[in-house]
Amino acid sequence: MLMNELFLLYEKNKELAGIENDDGTILLPIAHSTNNAQVEIAVDLEGNFKRANIVQDENKNTIIPVTEDSGSRGAGIFPHPLCDKLIYVAGDYSQYVENPDDKKEKDFSSYFQAYCNQLESWTNSEFAHPKIKAVFNYINRKKIISDLTKTKVFVLDEKDKLNDNIKLNKIAQKDVFIRFIVEPSVDNVSCEVWKDKSLYNSWINFYLSKKTYKNLCYISGENIVISNKHPSKIRYPGDKAKLISSNDNAGFTYRGRFKDDTEAFTIGYETSQNAHNALKWLIEKQGIQFDSMALVAWESSLKKIPVIVNDTIDIFNNDKENNQLYPKTQKEFSDRLAKAILGYKKDLEISSKILILSLDAATPGRLSVKMFRDFQSSSFLDNIENWHRTCDWNFTIFKDKEINLYIYAPALKVITTNIYGTEQNGFIKVDDKILRTTIERLLPCVIDKKPIPLDIVKMAVNKASNPMAYDKRYNWNAVLEVASALVKKSENDKINRNSKNNEYKEVFTMALDENLKDRSYLYGRLLAVADRIEYRTFESGEDRQTNAKRYMSAFAQRPYKTWQIIYKKLDPYLNKLNKGESVKYQNLLQNIHDLFEPKDFKNNFALDGIYILGFECQGKDLRYKNIKENNEEATNE
C-alpha cells in the first residue's frame, strides 16, 4: 500500500527532518510546509524592529509551521502560525492598501486578527518559545508596513499606498510573504525561525496538544489523532491537487454507502503528515515532471538506482572507474552495461525492493495515482538492463569538430520527441501532453519487458520515411536513428516471443548484415546505396535532398515501382564518379539485387519497418567504414 510505504520511508529517515540536504531538498517535520518568502524582518528578543531585507531568489524557500487548515487553504481566512503573507501579519495593512469595491476594511483586519489570536495562543501555552514571544510582541505594534517603508524595502505611491507597480521577486508588494529573524541567537541555534529545530518541536507539541479526536488509523492500525485535511503542494510549490480528500459532502464521494467520511477511511494525523512529507521529499530529490505527471522511483532504503526514463549514459555514470562516457563498440557497450548494473546490485540488501509511483492531476484539486508498483530490486535491475541492451543503437554525435558513433539506448523523452515532435526553429519539439502520455505507455516496456506498442513503432517508421519534413538534416537523422532502435527491438522481441529457446537472440543488429534476405531489409539497402551514389557527386557545401530521400515516403509504400524511377535517375551520378567508385557501387547494387527472391523483388506491396534498418545499416556502413578518413565528408552531411 502506497501510504504505508511512504510512512515507513519517513520513519527510516525522520532524523533528517528539517535538515537541508546537499541537493537542497528538505524532509519536512510534521505540521510544517514550505513557502517562498520575499521579505525577511529581523527583531530582537523584546520584539523591537532591527532591519528588513528583500530575500534573494535563491534563498526564498522557507520552512513554516502550518495547521491542517492553513496547509491546504483556499478561500477563507486560515492563517499560518508564524510566517505568512503580508495581509495576515501586518496590523497596518488597511492603511496602505486600497480596498477593492467588493471588500470592506473590516475584511482586511480580520486576517490580522485571526493570525494574532493564533500566535497569542501559542505564545501563552506551556510550549511557548522565546522567538515566538519576540515575533508576537513585534506584530502587536502593527507597524510592519511602516517599518518596511522606512527601510526602503517598500515603496509608496502618491496616495501613500503600496505601489502596485513595484514587484519584489515578481510578487506585488501587498502580496509578499514575510519571514522572521530573531537576534541575538537563543541557545546558540540559528536566528532564522525557519531553521530552528527547537521551534519546530515547539509548534508540533503545541498543535498536537490541541487535537483530541481519535479514531482508528488504517495505516498504523492504532487508535490515534485523526487527520481531516491532508496536505497539497506534493509535486511542486503552489500545487493544490491532493491525494486524499473527503470534503465533498454533497453525496458524490460516499454515494450513500457511508454516513460520513470517517466510516469510509481514516488516517492518523502524524501518519498522514509523515507519508505526504516523505512523498514530497522524494519528488523533490529524484522525481521527474512531465506536464501534469510526476514520476518517482526509489529503493526502499534510498540506495541509488538507475533513472528509468534516462538513456544508458546515465547508468554508465554509476561506474566511477570508467571515465569514457560513450562506448564505441558493441562489446564495450555490453561489458560496461553489465558492470554498471552489477554495481547497483552490489549496494542492495536481500530484502531490498524498488517502488515506482506515477501521479497525475485528474482535476486541479484531485491527484490520481496512475501507477504504483513494487519490484524485487534484482528483478527490476534485470528488466532495466534488458531494455538498454535490446533498444541500443549507433547514435551520431558531433564532438570536437568530428562526427562519431556511440552506442546507447535513447531516453524516453528523446524517443517521444523524435517520434511525435515537429521541427520548429531548427529543433524538434513535442506537445507536453503527448510527451506525458507516450512516456506513460513506454514505461512498461522498460520496467516489465513489455513489447513497444505497435502504433508507436509505426509512427517512428512513418516519421523516418519522410525526410522532406525536416529542414535540418541532423534532425531527420536523429529521427531515423531513434526509429531504427525501436524497430530493431520490436522485431527482435517478436522473434524471441515465438521462440522456445529462453536465450535472447538478435536477428536484427546495428551492424550491416550482408547475408540477410528479408525483402524489406534488402530494399532499404538499395535505397541507401542510391542515396550514397548521388551524395558522392555533391559539390562542397551543396545542401539538397537526394532523389532517394525525396522518394523515400513513396518508396516505403510502393517499393518496386518507385525503385524503377530512382534507379533510372542514378546514371548521371554514376557517370560523375570516378570509374573505380562507380563500379564499386554498381557491383554493390547487383549483389543486393541477387539476394532477392525474384517474386519478392517485383512485389509492390508496402515495406515493413525493417526497411529502415536496412537503409540505416547500409548507409552507416558506407559512410563510416573508415570514419577517420570520412570525417570531413561526414561533417558536411
Tens of pLDDT, residue by residue over 136-192, are: 999 999 999 999 999 999 999 999 999 989 999 899 999 999 999 999 877 777 899
The backbone torsions φ and ψ at residue 140, rounded to the nearest 5 degrees and listed phi first, read: -65, -15
- Cell 505564545: give the residue: 123
Model pLDDT for residues 264-315, shown as the tens digit of each residue: 678 889 999 999 999 999 999 999 999 889 999 999 999 999 999 999 988 8
Model pLDDT for residues 514-557, shown as the tens digit of each residue: 999 999 999 999 999 999 999 999 988 788 899 999 999 999 99
- Rg of the Cα trace of the chain? 32
Model pLDDT for residues 455-477, shown as the tens digit of each residue: 999 999 999 999 999 999 999 99
pLDDT recorded at residue 529? 97
pLDDT recorded at residue 171? 93
Average pLDDT over residues 572-583: 95
CA angle 423, 425, 431 (to 5 degrees): 50
Max Cα distance, the chain (Å): 99
pLDDT range class, residue 106, cuts 50, 70, 90: low
Cα–Cα distance for residue pair 369/240, rounded to 1 Å: 15
CA angle 295, 301, 303 (to 5 degrees): 70
Cα–Cα distance for residue pair 406/393, rounded to 1 Å: 8
Q: What percent of the chain has pLDDT over 70?
A: 93
**Of the candidates 221, 230, 234, which has an alpha carbon nearest to the alpha carbon of residue 357?**
234
pLDDT recorded at residue 634? 45
Whether the per-residue pLDDT at 223 is higher than 60: the answer is: yes
First to last CA, the chain: 54
Average pLDDT over residues 75-95: 94
Angle, in degrees to the nearest 10, between helices 130-139 and 105-123: 160
pTM summary value: 0.87
Sequence-separated (6 or more) residues with CB below 8 Å from residue 342: none
Cα–Cα distance for residue pair 355/371, rounded to 1 Å: 10
pLDDT recorded at residue 254? 55
Q: Of the ranges 69-78, 377-386, 461-470, 489-498, which one carries the lowest mean pLDDT score?
A: 69-78
223's enclosing H/E stretch is: strand 223-225
pLDDT range class, residue 19, cuts 50, 70, 90: confident
Domain boundaries, the chain: 1-20+211-281, 31-209, 304-354+368-510, 512-637
pLDDT recorded at residue 501? 73
Higher pLDDT, 60 or 249: 60
Question: Average model confidence (pLDDT) for the chain?
Answer: 90
272 within 8 A of 256, measured Cβ to Cβ = no
- Cell 537503409: give the residue: 615
**Of the candidates 515, 611, 511, 513, which has an alpha carbon nearest to the alpha carbon of residue 559?**
611
